[in-house]
Amino acid sequence: MRHLLSALVQNQPGVLAHVSGMLASRGYNIDSLAVGETEDPNFSRMTFVVRGDAGTIEQVGKQLRKIVTVVAVQNISSEDFVERDLMLAKVKVSPSQRVEITLLVEMFRGRVVDVSNTSLIVEISGTETKIEAFIDLMRPYGILELARTGRIALVRGNSSKESAP
């Protein structure tokens, strides 16, 4: 089963390498990882997608909490949360397909961010399943290049189990 973990970490050089290295050295595979500064520039939020049963995920959390620069860890998989993934895709396009692809992009609430004679670069954000559905729809046209962020997520509402120092 896939689990979504959120870790608040001190925003300093080497934290990402330390955390990802610790997980890799213990045999945990990270399906997705996104890191970015929070509302407080002293902290960053790391969002992980990790596969495993409840015991495995509990061990991952315990290992993360041992790292000095990790302030808090939360498994938000069972919480009510909002998640997003961002994708840029360069799609092969002929002049006759340009309108058709643009309409499909709009149906997915995406946008065309670059146009050339032979391709479009499309930006789509949303859930992982939405991104995957769009990719599957674009494959017959020809995906020339693809880049995706890792998943990011926040628990809905005012309460958070994480606490900054």
Over residues 58-87, the pLDDT tens digits come to 999 999 999 999 999 999 998 999 999 999
Let me know the angle formed at the C-alpha of 44 by 42 and 49, rounded to the nearest 5 degrees: 165
The whole-model pTM stands at 0.79
Measured distance CA(155)–CA(165) in Å, rounded = 19
Instruction: Please tell me which residue, 90 or 26, carries the higher pLDDT value.
Output: 90
Q: Please list the residue range(s) of the chain that carry CATH number 3.30.70.260.
A: 2-75
Measured distance CA(157)–CA(165) in Å, rounded = 21
Superfamily of domain 2-75: ACT domain (3.30.70.260)
pLDDT at position 150 over 70: yes
Superfamily of domain 84-152: ACT-like. Chain A, domain 2 (3.30.70.1150)
Q: Please list the residue range(s) of the chain that carry CATH number 3.30.70.1150.
A: 84-152
